[in-house]
Amino acid sequence: MRAGILTAAADLFRARGYRAATLDEIARRIGVSKPTLYGYFRSKEELLAAIFHRAMSLFERDLGAIRASGDDPVTQLRRVIRFHVGAVIAERSFLAVFFSEEANLPPRLSRAIRRRKARYDRTVRAIVEAGIRAGSLRAANPRLLVFALLGMANWVYQWYDPEGAWDADTIAAGFIALLEPGYLATPRSRQRELAQALDRIEAELARVRPLVTPSSQRNRSAVSERRLRRSNPGGSS
């Protein structure tokens, strides 16, 4: 019963918005009396909190399993993308509420959810950083890469059409094919990065060379003058 109430609430909050939905409507949707509903959830706010906890727990549980798998970082990152897209699609109502109704959480719960989100992001970032250390991934800013990956997967709830041609596997595979060339470390990418580093060094040398050259010329002139004096101690100017 509790799961059914949560699902009905998530569907209604997604369709009408949290503020417009009522407990009476939720009770009617699942065919129970309002007192029965109160036996599980005492308020609409409590329902919203339960939806957030369920969504966050889903992400945390599966990400923990991926991290504990022992797979290499590239495989783990692929699994994260597939899982994340799949979860957003399978739990569209819950995730739509999760992404759009955080402002309606009480402050204490909102802070707790933000901490859990940050911990989730750090865990995904740890996968990226492990890949960089192993030489299989490359990212100048691992945190930015994580935001890009998760942001793309999260936004699926906005445009996904369950009657369309793309299922979760197709979307995830498309994301991976689109993004991996940008963060996989390959011999070609290493050569490109080395060439870019050399270009930056050359540009920096070109920038500082005018500042160094006059001083060098003055030093050479001073050395030449001292040599001339030593070779002609009795000369006059």
Question: Which CA distances in Å does 75 have to 9, 33, 81, 125?
Answer: 36, 49, 10, 14
Q: Which residues pair with 137 in a beta bridge?
A: 184
3-state secondary structure of 39: coil
The predicted pLDDT at position 143 comes to: 95
Residues 47, 41: Cα–Cα separation, whole Å: 6
Q: Tokens in use for 106?
A: 């009480």
CATH superfamily of 2-185: Tetracycline Repressor, domain 2 (1.10.357.10)
**Tokens 């990226």 — which residue?**
128
φ, ψ of residue 137 to 5 degrees: the values are: -125, 155
Q: Say if CB 180 and CB 130 are below 8 A apart.
A: no
Q: Tokens in use for 185?
A: 């470390």
**Tokens 């930056």 — which residue?**
200
pLDDT in tens, the chain (237 residues): 889 999 999 999 999 999 999 999 999 999 999 899 999 999 999 999 999 999 999 999 999 999 999 999 999 999 999 999 999 999 999 999 999 999 999 999 999 999 999 999 999 999 999 999 999 999 989 999 999 999 999 999 999 999 999 999 999 999 999 999 999 987 565 555 556 666 777 777 777 777 765 555 555 555 566 665 666 655 554
The predicted pLDDT at position 237 comes to: 47
96: which residues sit within 8 A by CB, 6+ positions away? 10, 14, 157
Spans of all domains in the chain: 2-185
3-state secondary structure of 166: coil
